[in-house]
Each structure stands twice: as structure tokens, then as C-alpha cells.
Structure 1
Amino acid sequence: MPSEVSFSVPSPLGPRTVTVAYERTGAGEPLLLLHGIGHHRQAWDPVVHILAAEREVIAVDLPGFGESPALPDGLTHDLSTMNAALGGFCTALGLERPHVAGNSLGGLLALELGREKLVRSVTALSPAGFWTQPERRYAFGVLAAMRRAARGLPLPLVRRLSRSAAGRTLLTSTIYARPGRRSPEAVVAETLALAHAAGFAETLRAGVRVRFTDDVPGVPVTVAWGTRDRLLPRRQGVRAKQVVPRARLVRLPGCGHVPMNDDPALVARVLLDGSRPLVGSA
């Protein structure tokens, strides 16, 4: 069962209370894990036990996703609000400049936290925000179609499909290069998470205007991209390196958009290396 923490975030209508669900395990320097749009903290399950041997791992359900409620009235699911919410979360948990790793939307948020000097290091796996407009429209169209499918499929059918490798491929091959490796229970849970994500539509709308164009000076940055990413093509990693020239750019051979499940050992090593400043500050 996750823990919950509530804290205050400023808004144009005055302070608002935000509640976030999270899980915390392991020992060592703190490492905050941020998932992608429509996903939940369990996206990191394949690597958490490896990371926890060297880090205190805090896996978060972003506001409006997983078991975290949507942002209250007066707050919107845009980057500045999410920065404030994640900063408030870290303060509430006593995390002073943790390391942060994120995937997709979470990767973009991790880079934003790095740009604001709120974290010690950033590892971004296929981060959003380095797209051209056609690439963004394609990705958002795919995400919207995945959301419609998740909301339209009856739960008994999702459960039945998840029992076979072919069914898991049908449900998740857009984000996993090796969907057969995902457990049936995980596929059902993440399909439900996508269907019920209260923050999905507003986050997608806010993303129309998003591009990451600033360097992240003074913070070690690693950007890693799966060679089989079907949602955000790996050429976007080259653009990320151009924007953040001191970043370490890493290929994840055979991995898709959500690489933690495709190659847990490789991804865990990249995350651990990225949170070792002397290694991550190429």
C-alpha cells in the first residue's frame, strides 16, 4: 500500500492542498522516480529492487495519475505547477535536492527540476519536449488513441487479453519493445491507470505548447533513449544533446518508450550511474 502526503501549493486563487501517493524503500542518497502520462508509479517496479540496494527510492504517482487525486481548483497540470507540486512534495518528505529520474512526461519534469536547481542530478528516459510539431502531433494522437482504447475495453476482456503474450502485445506494444515480459497483473493495472487518469486530458492539452529549449547548467544530466521507441523516436535524443550539450546521451538497445520493463538491469545501471555526479557530469 502506498503512503500519502499533503502539502500546500500557491495558486492564483490562494494556497491549495495537493495530495500525492508514493512508495519509499531502500537506503542511500534519495532518488525520486517520475512516470509518464497515463502511467503510474508501478512503471518503475522492474528496477526498484535493484536501485534500492544503493539508493533510497521514492516512486511517485504524479497528481491526477495512479492513486494521486487530480490537482484542486486553481491549479493546472502545466510545467510550472508541477514544478511547484514536486518541490512541495520534496519539502514535505524532507528530501533536500534528491536525484531524480523520469520517463517521458516524467523525464521532462525531471529536466525542469534540474533547470530550477531543485535536484542533484537528472536522468531522463525518452523525455518529452524535444519533438518537432509533427512528431508531437503523432505522439499525442497515439496517446489519445491508447486512452480511448483503455476506457472502451471491458475489464473482463483486458484481463483475458493480459493472460497471453499476444494479448499483452496488443495492449502494450506501443510503449514496450518486449511486451510479453510484462506480467498479466501489471498490464491490467496500467490499463486501468490509463483509463482512470484524472489528469490525462489537461496534461495533454498543456503539452501542446511545450518544448524544452534551455540548458541545465551545474547539474549532471543523463538522457537515455530506447532504440525501439515507437512513440518518441530516438532522433529526439540527438536534439536533447544539442539543447543540453553537457548531458551524457545513452542508447538503450532493444528498449521501447518505457524501457524499465524491457531491460531492467541496463536501465537500473543507467539510473545509478546518472546519480553518481562524477560519472553523470560528462
Structure 2
Amino acid sequence: MSATVTFSVDSPQGPKDVSVVYRRGGSGDPLLLLHGIGHHHQAWDPVFGILAADRDVIAVDLPGFGASPALPDGLAYDLAGVVPALGALCQALGIERPHVVGNSLGGLLALEMGREKLVRSVTALSPAGFWTQAERRYAFGTLLAMHRGAKVLPVPAIERLSRSAAGRAALTSTIYARPGRRSPEAVVAETLALRDATGFHETLVAGRAVRFRDDVDSVPVTIAWGTRDRLLLRRQGVRAKHTIPGARLVRLPGCGHVPMNDDPALVARVILDSTS
């Protein structure tokens, strides 16, 4: 069951109210889960129950994605705008310096939260920001094509495609190595989440200037990359390891860009090991 929390974030024009939809469950050390661009907190459903057996798990819809409203005027979708909002979210939920796990855009945000000492550990799954300019253009072009495709397809067509393995592959094979494992309902929901993401374009615009070049030496960092990631190619994981020398680099065999669905047991084990 999802809930909504509203909290205040400082901006140059004064405090702004931000609302975030989240799912929370389990008990233990707090564990914040951040999805990628165009996705929603349900991306974590394949591992949520496993993690909640040992952690207090909070999976959020980032502002402007999923069911969370767009950021108010005066707050940008760059790191300087979103990371303080996530810090304020943690305060509003009563979680002090949680472990944070992020995928893609969420991985970049998680690393920045670690650099700002807002969390106790970082696990980044195929994090954005370790690209060359050519790799970034390829990834952004692919995301834009997915977004446009989701916009163009009528809902009945999306539902019809989701009922077959071939259709689910057509809709989601860019981010999953094993799209046939995703349920029809999940594929429809995430395609609509991509189509309706109010923060999509502004996040891409902000991302054009992003290249993560800073070490994160204040907290333990684990970086994990799927061997079948077709969006952010796995060589970027080696680049991330050079940027953050103290990080543990983990290979996720057979996994795509959003690995939680491709191998839930492996991804959950990596997360639990990294947050122990």
C-alpha cells in the first residue's frame, strides 16, 4: 500500500512544498530505494519482500515520476535540486542517514547523497553519470525513443502487447534482459509511468551536464552492473570504479539495466551484503 508525505524544501524563492508517494514495509535498518528515469517505485517489487524481511524498506516515486507530483517552480531536477529534497524526505519520514540503493538515475542520486554524507551506505545499480558524451547521447536518444513510443501507443495497444512475451520484449527489452519474466500488469503500469512522467524532459536536460567525477570516501559504496545492460554499457562500471577507488564493483551476470526483475535473488543478496 502506497502513502504520500509532504515536506518543505528550501529554494531561492523561499520554502516549497514537495509531495512524494512511497511504499514502506519491514523492520530493521532503514533502506531507501530510488528508481531510474521514467520508472516508478514498483520497479523494486521483485526484491521488496526479500529486503523487508531484514530492513525497514522505503521505495519512493521520485518527484515528477510515478504517482509523485512534479517539483514546484523554483526547484530544479538537477542534483542540487533533487538531493536536498531527498534529504528532507528522510527527515519527514523519521529516518536518519538510511542506507540508500539506487538504479540508473537513482544510483546517481544515491552517490550524491553519499558524497553529501546524508546516508550511511550507497549501493548503485548501473548508476548514471559515468558516461562519455557519445555514450550519454546514445542513452538519452534511446530513452527519448522509449518515451515517444509510450506516448504514441494507445492504452489498448499497450495492454494487448503486454499479454505476450514478444510484446513485453518490444516494450521493455531495452531495460530488462529477461522481459518475459515481467508480468503483463507490471509492463502496462511502467509503460504508462514512462508516458506520464512529468519530470522526464527536465531531468534529461539537467543530465546533459552531469559527469560524476567526485570520490565518495565518507561511506561504503557498492557499484553493481548487469552484464547485459543495453542502456548504460557495463564498461561504465569500470570507469565508476576508477572514479570511486574505494567502491566495491560487483558483476550481475545475465542482468540488464534494471536488474531487480532479471535476478531478484542475486540483486537482493548484493543489497543486503552491502547494507549489513
Give TM class, smaller chain: over 0.9
Q: How does 1:39-54 map to 2 (within 5 A)?
A: 39-54=39-54
Cα distance in 2 for partners of 1:232, 1:218 equals: 26
Counterpart residue identity of residue 6, structure 2? S
Tell me if 1:169 matches 2:169.
Answer: yes
Q: How does 1:89-238 map to 2 (within 5 A)?
A: 89-238=89-238
Deviations 1:234-273 (A, max 9, x none): 0000000001001000000000000000000000000001
Tell me if 1:256 matches 2:242.
Answer: no
Cα distance in 2 for partners of 1:140, 1:169 equals: 20
Aligned-CA RMSD value: 0.5
Shift of 1:201: 0.4
**Please, which runs of 5 or more residues in structure 1 have no aligned partner?**
277-282
SS in 2 for 1:49: helix
Cα distance in 1 for partners of 2:122, 2:207 equals: 21
Shift of 1:12: 1.2
**Equivalent residue number for residue 31 of structure 2:** 31
Shift of 1:218: 2.2
Cα distance in 2 for partners of 1:163, 1:156 equals: 11
Deviations 1:181-220 (A, max 9, x none): 0000000000000000000000000000001100011200
Deviations 1:90-148 (A, max 9, x none): 00011100000000000000000000010000000000000000000000000000000
SS in 2 for 1:124: strand
The TM-score normalised by the length of structure 2 is: 0.99
Deviations 1:8-65 (A, max 9, x none): 1111111100000001000110000000000000000000000011101000000000
**Please, which runs of 5 or more residues in structure 2 have no aligned partner?**
none
SS in 2 for 1:70: coil
Same amino acid, percent of matched pairs: 76
Counterpart residue identity of residue 3, structure 2? S
Shift of 1:2: 1.1
